Structure 1
Amino acid sequence: MITARSQVKDILKEEGMRNMSNDFMERLDQEVDKLIKNAVKRAKENLRKTVMGRDL
């Protein structure tokens, strides 16, 4: 698991949500994984070994 369940729950509570389903966390992790891989790809295309905010 990439994202911390407790931190996600804290954010959801701040936004007025009480609960989240397990499939939400699974899907969120998939999206985060894609986001990271795309950022790495962009950094490599720009001949860098450091991922930066602009790669998102």
Structure 2
Amino acid sequence: MAKKPVVGKKPSSGGDVLFVKSKVRDYIKSKECNTSGDVIDGRVLNGRLIELLDKAVARAKANGRKTVQEKDL
């Protein structure tokens, strides 16, 4: 039986979180910087991801495709 997908915690602005918080924190730490709590809370970063993905979906549809490809990003 297939496992159900794990859905992230909802950010305070609503909707699912589309990123892994610990991975973002680790990436920023690898650049020798600290991460403030508001970066990881999900609102702004999640909003930017949604904007990027919405544009990619629109581009794919404009090109007559249902598959979003790397070039759409």
**Superposition TM-score, scaled by structure 1 size:** 0.88
Q: For residues 5-56 of structure 1, what are the alpha-carbon distances to aligned partners after superposition, in whole Å with 9 as ceiling and x for unaligned?
A: 001001001011122232x232111000000010000000000011011101
Structural RMSD (CA): 1.0
SS at 1:27 equivalent: helix
Q: Which runs of 5+ in 2 are unaligned?
A: 1-16
Q: Distance in 2 between matches of 1:45 and 1:9?
A: 35
**Superposition TM-score, scaled by structure 2 size:** 0.69
Tell me the equivalent position of 1:2. Answer: 18
Answer with 1 or 2: which has the greater Rg.
2
Q: Distance in 1 between matches of 2:36 and 2:19?
A: 14
Identical amino acids, percent of aligned pairs: 33
Number of residue pairs the alignment of both structures matches: 55
Q: Distance in 1 between matches of 2:25 and 2:36?
A: 8
Greater RCO structure (CA 8 Å; 6+ sep) = 1
Structure 1 window deviating more from structure 2 (37-46 vs 10-19): it is: 10-19
Deviation at 1:3, TM superposition (A): 1.0
Q: Distance in 2 between matches of 1:37 and 1:53?
A: 13
